[in-house]
Amino acid sequence: MPAAAIDRAKVALARAIGDSRVAVDADACGAFAKDESEADGRVPDIVVHAESLAHIEATLRIAEELGVPVTPRAGGTGRSGGAIPAAGGIVLATAKLSRIKDLDRKNLLAVVEPGVVTGDLHAAAEAEGLFYPPDPNSWKSCMIGGNVAENAGGPRAFKYGTTREYVLGVEACLMGGHTVRSGKRTVKGVTGYDVTALLVGSEGTLGVFSEITLKLLPKPREIATALGLFRDSTSALDAVTAVLHHGLVPRCMEFLDPPALDALRSQGVAIDARAAALLLIELDGGHVEADLMDLGEVLSSAPGSIDVQVAQDAARRAALWEARRAMSPTTRKLAKYKISEDVVVPRSAMSELLDRVAGIGLREGVRNLTYGHAGDGNLHVNFLWNDRAEDEAVERAVSQLMDATLALGGTLSGEHGIGLTKQKYITREQGPALVQLEHGLKRVFDPKGLLNPGKIFPPDGTHHAC
Ligand code: MLT
Ligand code: ZN
C-alpha cells in the first residue's frame, strides 16, 4: 500500500468525518490488529470510529477513490481473523453505532445498529417479553454487526437456527459509498434476489452494515436444563440421538469430551471423577415440566449414563451451565496458543470424527480437546500448543481435520466463518467452479477488491481481494 495514498486518506477522512473519529497513531491503532483467533495481527494505518451512516459512506467513498483497503469491525471477537486488517489500510469500526432503534412488540422485530452488544439485545428484548435466540458464547461482548457478517450461531441454534434466520433486512454501504437497503420488515417476502441472505455471512467482504432489522420471537414461558454425565463420548453422543428419537426438541444439546472434562478439572471445576463425557441439554416452551421428566428418563436409561441432574430455577440452571460456559476461557489458559475449529459433520458421524481427531493428535503429537453443539454436529476441535516450533505439526493437524470432516460429509465452518484462518481449505469443500462464481460476485460488489481483502478465498492472482 503506497504511503502517499495512506497520507491522503488520513487528511481526507479527518476532513470528512472529524479528527476525533479518525485514529492514526500506532498505539491507538494497535488494539485493532487482532481478533479472538490465532491469525497474525496487522496494525491498521487508520481506524475510523463511525457514528453514523454518513461516516461509513464517506469512508468507503474515500477508500475507493484512493485505492485504500478497508476492514470492517464491530466487536472484534471473531474466531477466524475476519476483522484483522490483512492488507493494512483502514479499519472501519462500527462499535459506536450502538442504538437499538426500535423494538416493535406488535410485529415482533427489532431495528438495531451494528455496534449493539448481542447480550444487550437479549436483555432489551426479554424486558419486553420478547426473545432474540442467537447466542454466540461471546454474547457479553460480541456485536450484532459481526454476528450478521459471520452468520454466528451458538448453543440455541439447534432449535432456533443461526443469525441468518433472524435477519429480515439490512442497510448496507458498498465500496464507493453507495448505500442499499435489502430485505423487509414483514414475515414473508420473496421480492427479487435474496440479497440480504447473500450479505449475511459474507464476512465483511461485500458491504458494511449500518442498520439491521431482526425478527424476534415471544419469550419462551419456561426453561429447564439437564446435565448428563457418561462413561465415554460415544455413549453421550448416542444419547443425543435417543433424545431426538423420543420426540423431544431441546433448544441446546451441548457436548464435552474426555480431554475437555480433564481440562476443566485441572482448573478447579468439580466434575464427578467417573465421568468421561458430558451433555448439557436445555428445553424451553410451555410444557417444560413434563418434557424435563421425559428427558431425565431418556438420559438416565441411556447406555453408559452415570448421573443426571436437572434444574428449572435460574440459579441452578446457571450452575449446570458453568462447565460449558467456562470451556473457551479455560482452554485459553491451558497453553500459549490455541485454535478452536468449528467443523460440522452429520450427527451420526460425530463419534467417528472424534476417533479421527484422536488419531490426528497422536500422529502429529498435538494436544487437543473437543466440545460443542452436538445437536448440530458442530464440534469445536481445539488444538493447543506452546512453542512456535510446533506450528507446522498444528497446521498438518488442522489440514487433516478438514479432510476428515469433508470425508464424513461435513463442512469446514458451522459458525465462526472462514476468514483468514480457513481460506486455504475452502476449495477442498466447494470446488474451483463454485469458488470462481463467488469471486465473480465479489467483483460485482467491490470491483477493486478493497473491502476486507484476503478473506474467505485463497488469492487467485487476478483479483487482489480474493
Ligand atoms: C463456543 O461455542 O464456545 C464458541 O463458539 C467459541 C469456541 O469456543 O470456539
Ligand atoms: Zn460455538
The pLDDT value recorded for residue 466 is 42
**Nearest alpha-carbon partner for 305 in 225, 227, 229:** 229
CA distance 439 to 445: 10
Tell me what pLDDT residue 454 has: 96
How far apart are alpha carbons 361 and 357 in whole angstroms?
Answer: 6
Max Cα–Cα distance, the chain, nearest Å? 70
Return the residue whose CA atom lies nearest to atom 4 of ligand 1. 137
Strands (E) located in 266-366: 277-285, 305-311, 337-340, 343-344
pLDDT band of residue 459 (cuts 50, 70, 90) is confident
**CA angle (249, 252, 258) in 5-degree steps:** 120
DSSP-derived 3-state class of residue 279: strand
**Quick one: DSSP state of residue 40?**
P
Compute the radius of gyration of the chain from its Cα atoms. Answer: 22
| Sheet of 22-23, strands arranged across | 22-23, 46-49, 90-93, 70-73
How far is Cα 276 from Cα 322, in angstroms, rounded to an integer? 17
Q: Evaluate if residue 415 carries a pLDDT over 80.
A: yes
Question: Is residue 197 scored above 60 in pLDDT?
Answer: yes
Residue 287: enclosing H or E segment and its boundaries? none
Residue 465 — very low, low, confident or very high, per pLDDT cuts 50/70/90? very low
Q: Please write the tens of the pLDDT for every residue from 361-380.
A: 999 999 999 999 999 999 99
- Average pLDDT over every residue of 353-362: 98
Cell numbers representing residue 31 in the block: 488494539
Ligand number with the minimum distance to the CA of 340: 1
| Ligand 1 pocket mutation, candidates 77, 328, 330, criterion most atoms within 8 A of CB | 328
Nearest to 380 by CA among 344, 356, 337: 344
463 pLDDT tier (thresholds 50, 70, 90): very low
* Ligand 1 atom nearest 153 alpha carbon: 5
pLDDT of residue 461: 57
136 C-alpha to ligand 2 centroid (Å):
6
The string of pLDDT tens digits covering residues 228-259 is 999 999 999 999 999 999 999 999 999 999 99
Give the residue, by CA position, lying nearest to ligand 1 atom 8: 328
- pLDDT of 462 above 70: no
Cα of 413 to ligand 1 centre, how many Å? 12
**Mean pLDDT, residues 334-357:** 97
CA of 328 relative to ligand 1 center, distance in Å: 6
Atom of ligand 1 nearest to the CA of 328: 8
3-state secondary structure of 436: helix
Pocket of ligand 1 (CB under 6 A): 79, 137, 327-328, 340, 380, 415
What are the DSSP calls for 142-197, one per residue?
A: -BHHHHHHHT---TTHHHH--GGGGEEEEEEEETTTEEEEEE-SSS----SS-HHH
| Candidate of 79, 140, 280 to mutate for ligand 1, largest count of ligand atoms within 8 Å of Cβ | 79
Domains and CATH numbers, the chain: 100-218 (3.30.465.10), 222-328 (3.30.70.2190), 335-425 (3.30.70.2740)
C-alpha cell at 304: 453408559
Model confidence band, residue 334 (pLDDT cutoffs 50, 70, 90):
very high
User: What is the structure's pLDDT at 1?
Assistant: 78
pLDDT tens-digit series, residues 103-127: 999 999 999 999 999 999 999 999 9
Mean pLDDT estimate for the chain: 96
Instruction: State what percent of residues in the chain have pLDDT above 70.
Output: 98
pLDDT at 42: 93
Locate 411 and state its grid cell. Answer: 463442512
Best residue among 142, 163, 327, 379 to mutate for probing ligand 1's pocket (most ligand atoms within 8 Å of CB) is 327
389-405 tens-digit pLDDT: 999 999 999 999 999 99
pLDDT tens per residue across span 42-62: 999 999 999 999 999 999 999
Backbone phi and psi for residue 102, each to the nearest 5 degrees, phi listed first: -155, 135
At 135-192, the pLDDT tens digits run 999 999 999 999 999 999 999 999 999 999 999 999 999 999 999 999 999 999 999 9
Evaluate if residue 282 carries a pLDDT over 90. yes
pLDDT at residue number 277: 98
